[in-house]
Amino acid sequence: MTTPDGVKVSNKFAAPLDGSQFDMGVTLGTGSFGRVRFATHKATNTYWAIKILKKAEIIRLQQVEHMLSEKSILLWQPPFCDDDPMGIYQQILSGKLNFPRFFDRNAKGLIKRMLTADLTKRYGCLKNGVEDIKKHKFFTGINWEDLLARKGAAPIIPRVGTANDTSNFDPYPDSMEDAIVPVYNGKDPFAEF
């Protein structure tokens, strides 16, 4: 397989990669289950975005299926895969979407209904609009009125000591780069847009 920038890759590495093979850089982003860091592979000097996960938190919050889906994409097993970009486009246009074995049946059904090419059959575009999506089996047990009214217990309630408590966030150094600030010259930048 070839990446968009023309690098030949395989979904199988000759040897497993580990953190010692990379020079870690700045944090690119954080999420509920970890963070993504910029890294340079020491042997090849190629750039990577490495996701560092909190396995115990993923298991505790029962997000294993979600992470397995993400893993299949990260391991070069995306739903549309071909050595030639035109092959990928053809797969997308064919409307055939492959799901991993472990993918939830109701989630798969909902995704297929929302990605249907025929607008007269696509969820969200039908007579009932978003109600078709909300009433799908995948969302069984969701009380949409209570959710909108913010009633009920939140799935995660963080412990905080003060209004400025940041202990629920991972500490990481700020980027060393200065933010780019646009210069205002008195003219509307979108006047001719």
Is residue 111's pLDDT more than 80? yes
Annotated binding residue at 96? no
Q: Is the confidence at residue 1, as pLDDT, over 70?
A: no
For the chain, percent of residues with pLDDT exceeding 70: 72
What is the pTM (predicted TM-score) of this model?
Answer: 0.42
CATH superfamily, domain at 1-96? Phosphorylase Kinase; domain 1 (3.30.200.20)
pLDDT tens-digit profile of 89-104? Answer: 888 777 777 777 777 8
Instruction: Give the long-range contacts of residues 50-55, CB within 8 A, separation 24 or more.
Output: 50/19, 50/22, 50/24
The full set of domain ranges for the chain reads 1-96, 104-154
40, 47 contact by CB (below 8 A): yes
Q: Pick the most confident of 25-29, 76-80, 107-111, 131-135.
A: 131-135
